[in-house]
Structure 1
Amino acid sequence: MITLTGVTKTYRSGDIETAALKSIDLEIAEGEFAVILGPSGSGKSTLLNVISGLDTVTSGKISFRGKELTGLSESGMTRFRRQYLGFIFQQYNLLQNLTVYENIQIGSDIGTDPLDIDELLLKIGLEKTRNKYPSQLSGGEQQRVSVARSLAKNPAVIFCDEPTGSLDEANSKNVLKLLQELNREYRKTIVIITHNTGISEMSDKVIKMNSGKIVDITINPTKKDAKDIHWG
């Protein structure tokens, strides 16, 4: 589904160059649950950004379902992200003056084949809060709304940047359980970046990074349910 070949990313500040990604080769299959694991500064966030088209590569190629993305114009990449990709970040980024339903509708309105919002509310267990505002919800509830907003437009891939970074263990596992169900029931491709090794136990593929390189790729023979993963 997603293929990276010889991808590099170099940042320049004056005369100083920093190689954030160094000759990355990677494949992520359709319907796969992949975790990109590594310490701060390992390049995992940069890798997610170039895969998702939020940043450009310095060299190399990225393709999606056989179509090369690295040659797209900025407007072409924007259309691609709008049609195929969903994003979940550590911060919920909900609009405080909109209700739960209205926040999810934002995602639905930009999709070409959106999912039913009422069904999503049932899926995330917040059907009774549809008319509440974000300030009336817990952190875990707000992140579940963020997940539903991302899913509403029915993307092919959902990219998650430390989606549980600001949550406690119980709420984190609730959010991860929801992502796991989306992967299983909707066959969504999920890509999570994290420093939490426990999250890798629920994935199909674990991509370990350090110093801008992929140092190991592991395929899990069995996957744990989100509620059973080691935390911390």
Structure 2
Amino acid sequence: MIELRNVSKIYKTGDVETAALKDIDLTIRDGAFVVILGPSGSGKSTLLNVISGLDTVTSGKITFGDTVLTDLSPEQMTSFRRDHLGFIFQQYNLLQNLTVYENVQIGSDLTKDPLPIDELLEQVGLTAARDKYPYQLSGGEQQRVSVARSLAKNPAIVFCDEPTGSLDEENSKKVLELLERLNETYQKTVVVITHNNGISEMADDVIKMNSGRIVEVTHHETRVAARDIHWG
């Protein structure tokens, strides 16, 4: 479980201060599929960055289980991210000179308890493409490689920053089905940032943000399957 208490983030540019997060209180339950929703500038990316330790808070406290993330040194936070967290971004960030299998192996090599690469490639529908290079794949296929790479190190939680932002509806739903599967099959906590309201239909919890604040938290007793969500 992740808990945020009175978390604020202020960016300073010269004498100008910008409050990106304002007194955030939030609990993310283990095994939940969470969508953080909001327009550009609402603070959703900053929220993901401070939860995942990619950025520091100005004030407040963040705990992950028994670990107080806001007390960790930069070196300790780097180790924590490596051991416990997975990331999927809008950009695929694949190494062009490595095959599909080798790109996924990068994630596997980061941990002592990886998930089997061949099993993951089967899960993402890329077994036949294991020896291909990124330039030989479509955008949707490359994003599926990045999903497999993130999952290979067997993280406790996967953070997704606009993972379908550069994909069409068909490929987006394929990627979302993968996230749905890793949440349900592998029992991973999944946190997705998006501006697409339709994606919120497949979440357990929806966190709506505006102007650096959480304006609404909605819990869904029943989730809509990724393939059935309304797009746009």
What range is the shorter-chain TM-score in?
over 0.9
Number of the residue aligned with 2:226: 226
- Gaps of at least 5 residues in structure 2 are none
Number of the residue aligned with 2:19: 19
Q: What amino acid maps onto 2:219 in structure 1?
A: I
Other structure's SS at 2:70 match: coil
Number of the residue aligned with 2:147: 147
C-alpha distance after superposition, 1:120-140 (max 9, x if no partner): 011001000000000000000
Number of the residue aligned with 1:39: 39
Structure 1 residue 138 and structure 2 residue 138: aligned? yes
Structure 1 residue 104 and structure 2 residue 107: aligned? no
Q: What amino acid maps onto 2:124 in structure 1?
A: I
TM-score norm. by structure 2 comes to: 1.00
How many Å separate the matches in 2 of 1:44 and 1:139? 24
Structure 1 residue 159 and structure 2 residue 171: aligned? no
How many Å separate the matches in 2 of 1:64 and 1:101? 31
Moved over 4 A (4+): none
Number of the residue aligned with 1:216: 216
Number of the residue aligned with 1:90: 90
C-alpha distance after superposition, 1:25-69 (max 9, x if no partner): 000000000000000000000000000000000000000012211
Aligned alpha-carbon RMSD (Å): 0.4
Number of the residue aligned with 1:191: 191
Superposition deviation, residue 221 in structure 1: 1.7
Number of the residue aligned with 2:73: 73
Other structure's SS at 1:230 match: coil
How many Å separate the matches in 1 of 2:123 and 2:111? 19
Q: Residues 51-70 of structure 1 correspond to what in structure 2 (within 5 A)? A: 51-70=51-70
How many Å separate the matches in 1 of 2:49 and 2:146? 19
TM-score norm. by structure 1 comes to: 1.00
Other structure's SS at 1:70 match: helix
C-alpha distance after superposition, 1:55-112 (max 9, x if no partner): 0000000000122110100000000000000000000000000000000000000012
Q: What amino acid maps onto 1:117 in structure 2?
A: I
Other structure's SS at 1:159 match: strand
How many Å separate the matches in 2 of 1:36 and 1:225? 18
Number of the residue aligned with 2:30: 30
- Gaps of at least 5 residues in structure 1 are none
Other structure's SS at 2:71 match: coil
Superposition deviation, residue 156 in structure 1: 0.2
C-alpha distance after superposition, 1:199-225 (max 9, x if no partner): 000000000000000000000121000
How many Å separate the matches in 1 of 2:142 and 2:69? 32
Q: Equivalent pairs: percent with the same residue?
A: 72
